[in-house]
Structure formats: structure tokens, C-alpha cells
Amino acid sequence: MKAKKFEQAFDDGADITASLDLSKARRVQQAQQRVNVDFPKWMVDSLDREASKLGVTRQSVIKVWLAERLEATTSHAPLQRTPKVATHR
């Protein structure tokens, strides 16, 4: 498919995935690298409680919170805290 036709199909909202070679697709700046971090027990317990409230894994909470902090640091914007989830006791 020629580029003009491809662009027109995309602009028209057509499904263009059949025209893509997804075997070579990659997410820019998303390569994974494993790191080990030691946390105090109270911190792990707090992370687990938060993850349980949100219905996600501990790793997800850590990733989101670190990403929020790093984005705020690099943009020099004030840190926006993740809203607390209401709990029913």
C-alpha cells in the first residue's frame, strides 16, 4: 500500500492493522529492566493494603507511584497525589 493511501485510510478511521508488520513493533522507552529493591516490612504492608484497595498488584502500585513522582520531578510540576480510595469499615 502506498503511503498516501495508508494515511488516507488511517485518517478515515479504517482498520489499518492488516497493513502493519506487528512482528517488529516495539514500545519506545518501554524496555523492561529488572531491579531489586529492599523495603522495610511496614512499607511492604502499606503497599499491599493499597494494592488490595485498588484491586491491583503491589508492583503496579510501585510503578504508578514512581512514575508519578518522576514525571512531577522532570516537569518541575507540583506532585499530584493519587486520590485515596474510599474504604467502608
pLDDT at position 89 is: 43
Cα(67)–Cα(16) distance, integer angstroms: 31
Grid coordinates given for 47: 503497599
The b-or-e profile of 28-40 (16+ CB within 10 A means b, else e) is eeeeeeeeeeeee
Tens digit of each residue's pLDDT, the chain (89 residues): 788 998 999 999 999 888 888 888 887 877 888 999 999 999 999 999 999 999 999 999 999 999 999 999 887 766 566 665 555 54
